Amino acid sequence: MKLVLSPEDQQFREEVRDFLNEHLSADLRRAGALMTSVFADFDAAMTWQRILHEKKGWAAPSWPKAFGGTDWSITRHYIYAVESAAADAPRLLPMGLDMCGPCLIGKGTDAQRAEYLPRMLSGEHFWCQGYSEPQSGSDLASLKLKADRDGDHYVLNGSKIWTTYAHHASHMFLLVRTRSDGKPQQGITFLLLDMNTPGITIDPIISISGEHEQNQVFFEDVRVPVANVVGEENDGWTVAKYLLEFERGGQAYSPRLQVSLDKVRHLAAQGQPGERPIDDELFRLKLARAEVSVRAVEAAELKVMSALSSGQNPGAISSMLKIIGSEASQQVTEMAIEALGSWAQIWQPQALNPATAGNASAIGPVSGVPVLSTYLNTRATTIYGGSNEIQRNIIAKQVLGL
């Protein structure tokens, strides 16, 4: 399948390129290039979000126009993703804009939408997700964080884990246990809370790459208004499944995968002819296989675009995209490690931090600085957002009828 652009879409592509060239500073591009996971540097991401929101209204283009989004076609969304990746634009942080926001648009009350959506767009509010618990990961229905009703409030006790950027967040959307009898899924409620509420403690979790993205969050007698329920009490599982469709299928993997693969080729071509990775036949074979994987992801995404543009529901294809996109990401980062060779063993956080990278001399190729951390971060892509084993179960049930 090939994406053929109309003259109007070609003009839109030029508009996007011109905007990126004008507003993406060298510092923002550096932060985008040094991104080591699906999450960009926090300060750079928020700076770029404010620019997009104030200059163009492009902070959340997938939202309906009535709520501050755009009326772009599916094709234009894809064009924007491709051009942003090619320009090394920092990726906007998804918990509010791509997850909680669409969930509130579809499931929230008028009061909740009026309170939270404009502040998500402007960056005044920054959100984190409270789903996983120490004993409840892929088996999310087993969660135990208690929310006992006390008049017009719930009182929360328990913890959440792997909470990305909780140390930056002003708000959290989370799942709590409001009933213990019956099926586990039938006693879960979806809540919104202010992270400044008394009784919340945040402990950092430092990743193997040395970065602080994850946290464990503890709740001790935390009071949350009943008005902050999204959907109905004890029906949070329905709301959570709706939100997970955005988390699993709401991103286009292939534009950034293609940029990453191009960087692998560049790294592999460094050095003396005959001694470079690109000169090795086996390496070229692996590179070709990675290219096939990336093209397969792109074809699947174009198929989704075609279905959505004609009003169809792609159904379980969001699970398929999560599988092939995350596994192709791992494949490409493995190739990057091999292309970089011994330089990949060097730990140089001063060159990886966007705040200091401009004044730090990289050891080895500059484009190779984020390779090791990206590789380590990408090991988790097949786990978070619902492990790929869970996604295969969804496909087996919904598509194959097993």
Distance CA 203, CA 110 (A): 34
SS3 267: helix
Tell me the Ramachandran region of residue 193: left when phi exceeds 0, alpha when psi lies from -120 to 50, beta otherwise: beta
Residue tagged active-site, from 247, 298, 301, 338 = 247
SS3 370: coil
Write down how long the chain is. Answer: 402
H helix or E strand, kind and range, residue 173: strand 171-177
The interaxial angle of helices 42-55 and 7-23, nearest 10 deg, is 130
Residue type, 16: V
Whether the Cβ atoms of residue 230 and residue 103 lie closer than 8 Å to each other: yes
Whether the Cβ atoms of residue 97 and residue 60 lie closer than 8 Å to each other: yes
Please, what's the b/e burial string for 48-66 (b: 16 or more CB within 10 A of its CB; e: otherwise)? bbebbbeeeebbbbbbeee
245 is catalytic: no
H helix or E strand, kind and range, residue 168: none
Whether the Cβ atoms of residue 76 and residue 12 lie closer than 8 Å to each other: yes
Distance CA 382, CA 309 (A): 28
Owner of token pair 């006992």: 148
CA distances from residue 226 to 99, 230, 264, 308 in whole angstroms, order as listed: 21, 9, 51, 36
With CA atoms as reference, report the closest residue to 200 among 157, 151, 148, 154. Answer: 157
Structure tokens at 202: 């945040």
Residue 71 — φ and ψ, nearest 5°? -105, 30
Whether the Cβ atoms of residue 385 and residue 322 lie closer than 8 Å to each other: yes
Residues 6+ apart with CB under 8 A from 393: none
Active-site residue set: 247
